[in-house]
Chains A and B, each alone.
Chain A
Amino acid sequence: GESVGLHLPTLSVQEGDNSIINCAYSNSASDYFIWYKQESGKGPQFIIDIRSNMDKRQGQRVTVLLNKTVKHLSLQIAATQPGDSAVYFCAERVTGIAGGTSYGKLTFGQGTILTVHP
């Protein structure tokens, strides 16, 4: 899961295994969540998102689970491949109201390093 500090959580798996990356989010008012993947030297890339009125959403080889009761988000990657090695981080959106316009900014977690061994 996420943690505060200079050392990111790490997860090492063998190629072909399933991976589960966890995230504890902070704000019970958050209504939208996203998982991003960041490879070395690149910007974060969108993987999958989920709205707060859902508890599960599936994509290609990825599934996001949302447990609002304990404010927990997880990303499951099936049949993990070496190309999945990257830093994964979650983001939550807190919708705020300013000047009559609804604004929503993302707040990002620190990330988890996933290493997939051939």
Chain B
Amino acid sequence: DADVTQTPRNRITKTGKRIMLECSQTKGHDRMYWYRQDPGLGLRLIYYSFDVKDINKGEISDGYSVSRQAQAKFSLSLESAIPNQTALYFCATSDPGRGGYTFGSGTRLTVV
């Protein structure tokens, strides 16, 4: 099984719909992140959480919300999806003792 699992892998949704992207990890890490990747651009941080009681906005949090249900689970919601939220979304975890992140395989979201 993958260390970081994202569901769904692909999703097409209509403008105005609410959608949730799920992430679960078996690394035992406290720190979890949601990133967005657009063609030609790097990874941009949406939200991050350093433990189950900690939620922080990243550089592009508008239009998104998150929930840290447990150490292993961190979900990203789009309350009312819009077409410019079409992108590849990645969840990641990290161990504070080491700086590197472990990424999931991504969710490709298309908003029509």
Q: Chain A interface: which size bin?
A: 20 to 34
- Given A45-B103, A93-B99, the answer on whether A108 and B42 have CB atoms closer than 8 Å is yes
What residues of chain B lie closer than 8 Å to A105, measured between beta carbons?
Answer: 33, 45, 48
Determine the residue in chain B with the shortest Cβ distance to A92: B99
Query: When the two chains form the complex, which single residue of A6, A44, A46 contacts B40, counting CB atoms closer than 8 Å?
Result: A6
B-side interface residues, number (CB < 8 Å): 22
Query: When the two chains form the complex, which single residue of B4, B43, B96 contacts A108, counting CB atoms closer than 8 Å?
Result: B43
What residues of chain A lie closer than 8 Å to B101, measured between beta carbons?
Answer: 44, 46, 106
Residue B50 CB within 8 A of the other chain: yes
User: Can you sample 22 A-B contacts with CB below 8 Å?
Assistant: A6-B39, A6-B40, A41-B106, A42-B106, A43-B4, A43-B90, A43-B105, A43-B106, A44-B43, A44-B101, A46-B100, A46-B101, A46-B102, A49-B99, A89-B43, A93-B99, A101-B50, A103-B50, A108-B35, A108-B42, A110-B40, A110-B41
